[in-house]
Amino acid sequence: MSNYVTAIGLDVHARSISACAFDPMTGEVSRARFGYDPASVAEWALGFESPKAVYESGPTGFHLCRALRALGVDCAVGAVSKMHRPAADRGRKNDRRDAEWLARLLACRNVVEVW
């Protein structure tokens, strides 16, 4: 298990990425939005202490994960089928909330990775 300090959730789409960084020690949350550009995401993520990123598996595939790893950011792809959402969140889904939810799951070490 890697030792990371900042958990970063990414809500990835074909043309955009919503990001949320969460530091569980301080409770600090930082958000950003990018076009589909792994270099910009990596530059932002490396501004945090020991970052690890996660995004949901899906049609965007593993390209972003490979690109972020090549740029020095530890990244995981989470299995969507193993991520359970609270029933109250079903009607309030948006990119910003999804990114924050992924960051908090990662901070709790509650993400099952897809290989």
Q: Residue ranges of the domains in the chain?
A: 6-114
Residue 5: pLDDT band (50, 70, 90) is confident
CB count, 10 Å around CB of 92? 7
Q: Which residues contact 69 (CB under 8 A, 6 or more apart)?
A: 75
Q: Does position 2 have pLDDT exceeding 70, yes or no?
A: no
Backbone angles phi, psi at 53, to 5 degrees: -110, 155
For 17, the 3-state DSSP assignment is: strand
- 101, 89 in Cβ contact below 8 A? yes
CATH superfamily of the domain spanning 6-114: YqgF/RNase H-like domain (3.30.420.140)
User: Over the Cα atoms of the chain, what is R_g?
Assistant: 13
pTM over 0.75: yes
Q: What is the pLDDT of residue 1?
A: 42
Q: What is the pLDDT of residue 90?
A: 65
Q: Does position 19 have pLDDT exceeding 50, yes or no?
A: yes
pLDDT tens, position by position, 84-103: 776 666 666 788 889 999 99
